[in-house]
Amino acid sequence: MKILVCISNVPDTTSKINFTDGDTKFDTNGVQFVINPNDEFGLTRAMWFKEKQGATVHVASVGGPSAEPTIRKALAIGADEAIRVNAEPTDGFFVAQQLAEVVKNGSYDLIIAGRESIDYNGGMVPGMLATLLNMNFVNTCINLEIDGNDVTAVREIDGGKEKIGTTLPLVIGGQKGLVEESDLRIPNMRGIMMARKKVLTVVEPIEATIATTDVKFEQPAPKGAVKLVDADNVGELVNLLHNEAKVI
């Protein structure tokens, strides 16, 4: 089985976010980038298939040279090879088109993408990718078992879970549940050293449609001042909620 894990290079959630050029561009200065968490769950599951079933695992990412440290981390975790499409990920449809070309050239059986990235939270790429490739698709996937060509998947739905039977080739939009946080892997020194010798192929992007552009970014409004009310002063609390906060 040949697996492709799609990796998104995203800012660490603890990073302070700023914008430049009149709030039209993201300021990357001082920002630490990491593997998108939903993608990391997928990568860890792919490593399980590699160790238990002898699968070959490749990773692919759409991004500039600055994404390579994140890609190398995926190689250090245990992926066999990596592909970087040399283009900025301008929108979900553009990214899906680039990844679809990678899949077509690589003849993959299973494509694991994160349900969504934590920067734009678009949640578009896995479904678009499956459509472009005309492959089976399971989104919000929280469990995946493969026996030959047969697949059993579990996905989250409103109010519960759904168990699905399908076949390869398959695209999934994965999330926590494919593995637990305690199962995520930290690259050891041997993995880091081996990652330096693994193949990281840079390919130029195909001509593709860019369906959306970012016009302007806006940060959330700063939190207002907090008023503390003594626990015994219920009357003052009610007065503030009614006359100042106007929530009752």
Q: What angle do CA 49, 75, 144 make, to 5 degrees?
A: 25
Using a 10 angstrom Cβ sphere, with 0-12 exposed, 13-18 middle and 19 or more buried, the burial of residue 21 is exposed
DSSP H helices, the chain, are: 37-53, 68-77, 92-106, 125-133, 189-195, 234-239
Q: What Cα–Cα distance (Å) separates residue 134 from each residue in 60, 91, 112?
A: 19, 21, 15
Phi/psi of residue 114, nearest 5 degrees: -70, 150
Residue 226 counted as domain residue: no
Residue 242 counted as domain residue: no
Q: Residue 94 — pLDDT band, cuts 50, 70, 90?
A: very high
DSSP H helices, 146-239, are: 189-195, 234-239
Residue 159 counted as domain residue: yes
Residue 206 counted as domain residue: yes
CATH at 163:
3.40.50.620
Q: Which residue has the tokens 């990920």?
A: 89
**What pLDDT sits at residue 161?**
96
Q: Residue 115 — pLDDT band, cuts 50, 70, 90?
A: very high
Q: What is the CA radius of gyration of the chain?
A: 22
**What pLDDT sits at residue 226?**
85
Structure tokens at 198: 């693994």
Residue 139 counted as domain residue: yes
Q: In this predicted model, what pLDDT tens digit does every residue of 116-126 receive, in sequence order?
A: 999 888 899 99
pLDDT over 90 at 225, yes or no: no
Residue 246 counted as domain residue: no
Query: What rounded mean pLDDT belongs to the chain?
Result: 94
Residue 120 counted as domain residue: yes
Which residue range is the domain that position 178 belongs to?
2-219
Q: In this predicted model, what pLDDT tens digit does every residue of 143-183 receive, in sequence order?
A: 999 999 999 999 999 999 999 999 999 999 999 999 999 99
Q: How many domains does the chain have?
A: 1
What stretch of H or E contains 129? helix 125-133
What is the average per-residue pLDDT within 5-19? 92
pLDDT over 90 at 14, yes or no: no
Q: Tell me how far apart the alpha carbons of residues 243 and 205 are, in angstroms, rounded to a whole number.
A: 58
Residue 240 counted as domain residue: no
**What pLDDT sits at residue 120?**
85
Q: Tell me how far apart the alpha carbons of residues 171 and 127 are, in angstroms, rounded to a whole number.
A: 8
